[in-house]
Chain A
Amino acid sequence: MTGTLLFQSLVLGVLLGGLYALLAAGLTLYFGVMRVVMIAHSAFLILAAYLAWFFNQQTGMDPLLSLVVTVPLFFLVGVGMQRLLITRLRPATLTMMSVLLTFAVALFIEGMIGFVWSGTQRRIQLPYSSASVEFFGAHIAVVKLVAFALAALSLALLYLIMKHSRFGQALRATIQHSEAAQLVGIKTDRVAGFGFGLGLATAAIGGTALSLDATIYPSLHWHWIGPLMAIIVVGGLGSIPGAAIAAMVLGIGQSLLQVPLGTTWAQTIFYVALFVTLMLRPQGFFGGRLAQRF
């Protein structure tokens, strides 16, 4: 009896952790390349979800198809944001001021979503919304499975890009030591822009995945940014594998804790983990030395 519930919660935790992992990877990527905490990441996430909803609403087609538009669009917006906004900030106060700037961007997006589509909660109704598959006694909703597959696929793709493409190498070099990267001829500015675009593209994918099985409303992004920020600190700022692992661990933890503690208290796991990390290992559990000082 409780065994089934435990297993069901575990499965749900893995599915949730996958989505967290993808989103946290994007958030930590910005930090890696620019030392920027992108508060607006989750606002773009919600924007992508709204675009998917709107696409479905207008065309009646599957919201996943909206990715064809939103991913390139968000990539360009990301590059533009880095080139036009972030680089205008003074390097000396970049970290602090970029928080405020991206905070303003988040508010702007929230306000514009509310202005265009009103504050009404929206949800995509799909033919397979309530369908599920049985998995060793646990029911897995098809929509959640699709979202998870999307997240896993994107993370794998991100990994391949980072590890095996020239751009990925340049990006990693920029993250690790941008002066040295510059010396060996990497155009770090351009790489940082692309890194930003890549991060925002994860928000597009994550938002579309989210829209399949959740209600969306303009101020929802506050609900996401807290856990995501905690994840990247726990994982070690700038470390993509660290963020993914921390996301998985905390996602499963949240899901399991909901059984005895209820929804409200289970959310505190992210912040408890954050403070434990700060006391024991301020640089994060998987991050390198660069996280410590930021």
Chain B
Amino acid sequence: MASRLSSRTARRRTAAVVAGLSSTALVLTACSGGESEGEGGGSDDPIVVGISLPLTGDFSEPGKGVQRGYEAWAQFVNEDGGLLGRDVELKILDDQSNADRVVQDYEALIAQDEVDLVFGPFSTRLVVPSARVADEYGMLFVEPAGAANEVFEQGFENLFYAAPAIADDHYNYLADHILDMPEGERPQTVAVASMDDPFAQGTAYGLRDKLADGGLEIVVDEVYPPNTTDFSSIAAKIDDSDADMVIGGTQYQDAVNLIVALQQLDYQPDLAAFSTAPTNPEFSAAIGSETEGILSPTGYTETASWPSNVDFVERYTELHGNPPGEDEANAYTTGQVVAAAVEAAGCAEQGECQQELISWLRTNEVETVVGPLTWDETGKPQGAHLIQQYVDGEIQIVLPQDAMEADFVYPKPAW
């Protein structure tokens, strides 16, 4: 077991696992386990935050964004003197985008490493299983990414979503705006294509259902598996329907593929809304710079004037050379929410303290980089997402009126 390993903790964990599972060394581990981990609790010990993130696998791209956000948060907190006067230390494990692993990871973090706090992972598919582990250990679980409605229907008492709105409400401002248009001008037919993923479907279907209720006709409604790479058939269907508006329940690459496939068919809608992808800095280059008029909801904008956001953007840009994206901001928000609760409750450890943190968040508002957040009893945030649009080659906020940076462009120019 005396191998050359980089990190001490990794070695300890590895040793514990290997030994713990090979029956001969069991007793040894049991004896040494207590002293090596240490009970902590002293006021000088760092506050250890356990996190599992998809650093490899299907969700690795946004997962790494979330990681940058968490690490930025920890660094800035420590530069500012720490939390309750103690340093913050992150312990990040990779769950390989796998639900089995994410549960194992949180189990390890809580039961074996005895971390003081946990933050949530990325992706709805991973949030539900991991929230259950945290729930059963009575840990506060603030998460940056589980936006689908079903997350909040599981009856978790410890869960808070650190973003302004859940997926179904992302397009609320856009839906209202379209339905407010005069009957003769607004789009009449809508084509929907969504990834088979709770988050992506949540965003697209929230808008779809509101428009359908408002009298628009849904002419195409397609679902494709997450691993789809060939969108030509879906694009052909959308093109054939000649819908006035296209809604994409997308992550990143699927939106690029779908748009390119639509361009290949020379399909020109009046409105085009895609979730998530358009806010990605590489989006514009990926679809050949034909972005003009594309819409997207966002929970975060780097230009927002919330006090903590100005500070965050400045320091983050200094650190990384580019401003933070939505994933980074959501992760940072998670840190801010937990930090606010910790400061208010005056404690950060496993046990009764966690319940104090949970009760505090239930009843209080937290100032964050995405604005002030409050939650209902299921952990749903009570805000709404902004609507952005590519105007003059730049993505700008067009809705709602009071936050807008540019005028809503309708109909959308040809791509």
Contacts and interface: CB of A to CB of B under 8 A. Distances in A.
B232 A12 contact: yes
A139 B60 contact: no
A1 B60 CA distance: 41
B271 interface: no
Interface stretch (B131-139, B285-293, B394-402, B403-411): B285-293
Contacts of A129: 260, 288
B209 interface: no
Given A123-B256, A223-B227, 11 more contacts: A8-B236, A114-B56, A119-B58, A125-B285, A125-B288, A131-B264, A132-B264, A215-B256, A219-B57, A258-B234, A264-B223
A125 B234 contact: no
Interface of B: 56-58, 60-61, 196, 222-225, 227-230, 232-234, 236-237, 239-240, 252-254, 256-257, 260-261, 263-266, 285-288, 290
A131 B260 CA distance: 9
A2 B241 CA distance: 9
Interface of A: 1-2, 4-5, 8-9, 12, 16, 114, 118-121, 123, 125, 129-132, 139, 141, 144, 213-217, 219-220, 223, 255, 258-259, 262-264, 266-267
A223 B58 CA distance: 13
Given A16-B230, A131-B264, A214-B257, A123 B61 contact: no
Nearest to B224: A263
Contacts of A262: 222-224
B253 A215 contact: yes
16 contacts: A120-B60, A120-B61, A129-B260, A132-B264, A132-B265, A139-B264, A141-B232, A213-B230, A214-B257, A215-B257, A219-B57, A223-B229, A255-B233, A262-B222, A266-B233, A267-B225
A146 to B, nearest CB: 13
Contacts of A144: 232
Contact of B266 (A139, A214, A216): A139
B240 A5 contact: yes
B240 A2 contact: yes
Contacts of A255: 233
Contacts of A139: 239, 264-266
Contacts of A123: 253, 256-257, 286
Contact of A263 (B58, B223, B285, B286): B223
A50 to B, nearest CB: 14
Contacts, number: 96
A51 to B, nearest CB: 17
Nearest to B259: A130
B101 to A, nearest CB: 15
A228 to B, nearest CB: 15
A219 B222 CA distance: 24
Contact of B61 (A121, A130, A213): A121
B236 A12 contact: yes
Of listed B61, B239, B260, B286, residue having the most chain A CB within 10 A: B260
Given A8-B240, A123-B256, A262-B223, A214 B229 contact: yes
Nearest to B290: A130
Nearest to B257: A215
A41 to B, nearest CB: 17
B264 A220 contact: no
Contacts of B232: 12, 141, 144
Contacts of B264: 130-132, 139, 141
A263 B233 contact: yes
A220 B263 contact: no
Contacts of A213: 230
B87 to A, nearest CB: 30
Of listed B57, B223, B232, B287, residue having the most chain A CB within 10 A: B232
A239 B265 CA distance: 36
A75 to B, nearest CB: 26
Given A129-B260, A139-B264, A214-B230, A5 B236 contact: yes
A8 B232 CA distance: 9
A259 B237 contact: yes
A263 B234 CA distance: 8
Given A5-B240, A120-B61, A215-B229, A263 B222 contact: yes
Of listed A125, A144, A255, residue having the most chain B CB within 10 A: A125
Of listed B253, B257, B266, residue having the most chain A CB within 10 A: B253
A47 to B, nearest CB: 16
Contacts of B60: 118-120
Of listed A5, A131, A267, residue having the most chain B CB within 10 A: A5
A219 B290 CA distance: 30
Contacts of B58: 119, 219
A233 B227 CA distance: 24
Given A215-B256, A223-B227, A259 B288 contact: no
Contacts of B236: 5, 8-9, 12, 259
Of listed B56, B196, B224, B285, residue having the most chain A CB within 10 A: B56
Nearest to B222: A262
A121 B226 CA distance: 12
Contacts of B196: 264
Contact of B225 (A217, A219, A264): A264
Q: What are the 5 closest A-B residue pairs judged by CB atoms, nearest first?
A: A130-B263, A5-B240, A258-B233, A121-B253, A141-B264
Contacts of A9: 233, 236
Nearest to A139: B265
Contacts of B228: 263
Contacts of B261: 141
A34 to B, nearest CB: 30
A69 B261 CA distance: 29
A267 B60 CA distance: 26
Nearest to B55: A119
A274 B18 CA distance: 43
A124 to B, nearest CB: 10
